[in-house]
Chains A and B, each alone.
Chain A
């Protein structure tokens, strides 16, 4: 699987989903095109999905927020008879390289989290109407919705059959949401996750697996009524007009990608990529109306979209590049001004959406399994949302004092209000709170520094960067770090970084990306699942997986 995976799409290209917009309610139909798989070698039968199906879903969720802010309730359902969704395509999983499976799961997890949080973040509530078989990844799609309605036709059921059927886990949040979100009693969860056929009817409700069980003859009308009712009770402010998410300006070359605000340079021999973010080249829009008029052209939205795409591209298409280096260029004051407009108008729908989007993009950075480093050079603009990158990465290096022959403004770091609660991590703490977990009192001190352009010494004193080096040491130190990093085992790096990045409390999100994903990825390496005689390989042949019965 060496084909380039593109994460950009738009409604004219959808093959797997259909949407009917009905005022404040959107009906979202899953209707997977069997022959529309991203790769050869499998058919997407029974509404099973692959990464391509999920890329469309992610696009839908994103456009729902920006292009359809009038929508308050989204009803996820199947356009196919007798089946809601059979989950991730097994043949695709069986044929995929380990790295693809892992990236696939990560992206689908991010998409689930994104529409699950759409209610809290954007006032858009995803609910789910289940008719027909809803198994594995299908039920995980439903679990990420905030209200599940199941028809009682004495056949339709919800199920997590991965363990008995495939010897893997329901890894797209399934196990975690059953216990943490739906709060199913653990012994019942144990039963539920061990039976292929799942649970139907009243018991599904009694066990908290769904919210409502509705007689089949009343199902469609009840779903419509429930959606209207929820839309009527929504406290989301009415918005008449969204903005269009126009295609990104993006060009690929042999060793890089150029966006309007992001430049990616691939250094394949050194196994590293440099992502340089260019700050705004003009003043912030005067007010939110001017912002809305700029729409997708506004720097702060454009930059988030381009950075998001760049990260996804690197994750999925440049797997050999183990180190991502973040740089910025521009005027920190302008970055602060563009962010300030949003922070001052948080209750305006578009300002809110852009801030929430930055939160998600920064989480995407947190979740990227590469060594991450920020290089804070002169002329850079690590300010506000871009300063968050300093604490998302594993280490940061900052230029100290003037460099010979470098006339760019001295490197600085600028804190804003945004750094103190707008862009929370998956652990529900800000990056600064996570960074200073042992000295929470430092946060108050940092608040006092807001708006100041902190040069290297001050940034170092405040603990905002790892190392500051002057002209004499800079080049060697940065080079040594990068060479050393490139020499370590990528597996050990991924494991170490993932453990160190998320200090502090567990949340459902960290449990999904930590505990569940780690166990799943372990199982994805084990012969019981993926060996030639393992359950995943044998699925569909009629022969059972052969298991090594030793408990490890």
Chain B
């Protein structure tokens, strides 16, 4: 049992940043730690805090053996500070400093911009844990509960990673920002999380899966572009975070896939072929495909908003200053400076959606969003294959990027999922066709009953094909503490 008051940071925090020698940062982290533990304890319902969860803990950055699995109580999870191994002689991969040695300290002129980017990234990490805090109560299986908690503790670790950077490299301002990360909270009136998608509710498990598929994928894209940073500690931190993020998206993709699978199997069993025969399908205790499409529409569009304005000075600055690159920067075949290039950006002119070339530097957000859209399409294709295989005539579609947007050029117009601009009145009249209604939510909520028996699953979701850490089907992923 860890002594939470006198944490021995030297031994208890797995780290590869030589924390025990870094008295200054150690002191700062020590000061920050009790607030973090309080945050965690206030957040997750108590009986889950006491439960033994079969978790993966990052213990090193060796790609072969970076994690080990074991039962652990969440508050005792070892939130390591781990940076991917330094690349020897790393050079800044883009912008006006292209080819110069990567910075090991923060350059004074970029301090504020770097700090702001780290704070925004850091703010998303605890945000999702807050959104998902009550889901344990309705977990459809111990397997899913374990996955939820795995995602949660890793988001907690990501917060640690960002806080470490703030405290190590950004002085007093950094410490204050680190404290504020625990002050803001998802959906709060007084101090909400910084980005909209992290203040939305995650009311049910399908939302959780959609969130981890679509919104965590935004996180992946952001981390990928921060991993290009000329500020080497940020780059190394983000590279390691990406290994964990991959698991979150796996939870999302397989979660939605298993939901679909349960629906398909139930339909086949009952001999229903019409995917729009919603009432009959719902009578089977599964979620009909059109409702899943509505959930997809919602989470996908909320996630698109996270990419910000299509044309952005801040993004241009961050790229040009060598602070934030593009997805797969090194694999892109150009001069990595973009000072004379253009990029096609969608915009709305005179009531029509058009594409126009703008200076590529200013279109960095748009480009990352385009990469995201391609990346997100993969899993949707696999879900559609599942449906086709079951012989049901239905296909999920990613809605048009202009649909249901709050940020960017499309925020000013009403666009349907097919990309037609319409009057705001018309849109509101029809929005129940495209986005989950209260009734849809109530129905899904009615399915959200806990299923805590090892190896058993709620009606609306199929069992996974493979267990975590290759464990057998009836493995007890969470030993529930019964108060």
Contacts and interface: CB of A to CB of B under 8 A. Distances in A.
A540 B359 CA distance: 10
B172 to A, nearest CB: 12
Interface string A515-552: 00000000000000000000000011111100000000
Given A196-B112, A197-B112, A543 B189 contact: no
- Dominant SS among interface residues on chain A: loop
Interface string B312-347: 010111011100000000000000001100000000
Most buried by B among A34, A215, A540: A540
Contact of A154 (B191, B313, B317): B191
B112 A216 contact: no
Given A154-B184, A195-B112, A541 B191 contact: no
B361 A215 contact: no
Nearest to A155: B194
B191 A152 contact: yes
B162 to A, nearest CB: 16
Given A215-B190, A540-B313, A154 B361 contact: no
Most buried by A among B189, B191, B192, B361: B191
A197 B116 contact: yes
Given A197-B112, A539-B313, A542-B362, A154 B180 contact: yes
A216 B189 contact: yes
B422 interface: no
Nearest to A218: B190
B190 A540 contact: no
B180 A544 contact: no
Contact of B361 (A152, A153, A541): A541
A34 B349 CA distance: 13
A265 to B, nearest CB: 43
Contacts of A539: 313
B449 interface: no
A543 B191 contact: no
Nearest to B309: A45
A245 to B, nearest CB: 33
Nearest to A203: B176
A543 B320 contact: yes
Given A196-B112, A197-B112, A544 B321 contact: yes
B440 interface: no
A251 interface: no
Nearest to B111: A195
Contact of B316 (A164, A217, A541): A541
A542 B112 contact: no
B67 interface: no
B183 interface: yes
B400 to A, nearest CB: 22
Interface in B433-449: none
Contacts of B188: 216
B395 interface: no
Contacts, number: 58
B96 interface: yes
Nearest to A34: B412
B35 to A, nearest CB: 14
Given A195-B112, A197-B112, A542 B190 contact: no
Interface string B164-204: 00000000000000001001100011111010000000000
Contacts of B313: 539-542
Nearest to A543: B320
A544 B95 CA distance: 11
Interface string A3-45: 0000000000000000000000000000000100000000000
Contact of B183 (A34, A154, A542, A543): A154
A153 B317 contact: no
Nearest to B183: A154
A9 to B, nearest CB: 24
Interface residues of B, number: 27
A34 B96 CA distance: 32
Nearest to A153: B191
A544 B320 contact: yes
Contacts of A196: 112-113
A71 B188 CA distance: 35
A197 B116 CA distance: 9
Interface string B280-324: 000000000000000000000000000000000101110111000
A465 to B, nearest CB: 55
A541 B96 contact: no
B190 A216 contact: yes
A216 B183 CA distance: 13
A93 to B, nearest CB: 14
A542 B184 contact: no
A153 B321 contact: no
A219 B82 CA distance: 41
Contacts of A541: 313, 316, 359, 361-362
A153 B113 CA distance: 21
Most buried by A among B180, B184, B313, B359: B313
Contacts of A164: 112
A542 B311 CA distance: 11
Interface in A471-513: none
B319 A217 contact: no
Interface in A120-157: 152-155
A34 B309 CA distance: 14
B112 A153 contact: no
A155 B364 CA distance: 24
Contacts of B113: 196
Contacts of B112: 164, 195-197
A196 B317 CA distance: 13
B295 to A, nearest CB: 25
Contact of B339 (A34, A152, A195, A543): A543
A543 B361 contact: yes
Nearest to B364: A542
Nearest to A45: B309
Most buried by B among A154, A197, A215, A217: A154
Interface of B: 96, 112-113, 116, 180, 183-184, 188-192, 194, 313, 315-317, 319-321, 338-339, 359, 361-362, 364, 412
Given A155-B192, A540-B316, A543-B361, 4 more contacts: A34-B412, A196-B112, A197-B116, A542-B361
Interface of A: 34, 152-155, 164, 195-197, 215-217, 539-544
11 contacts: A34-B412, A154-B190, A154-B191, A195-B112, A197-B116, A216-B192, A541-B361, A542-B320, A543-B339, A544-B96, A544-B317
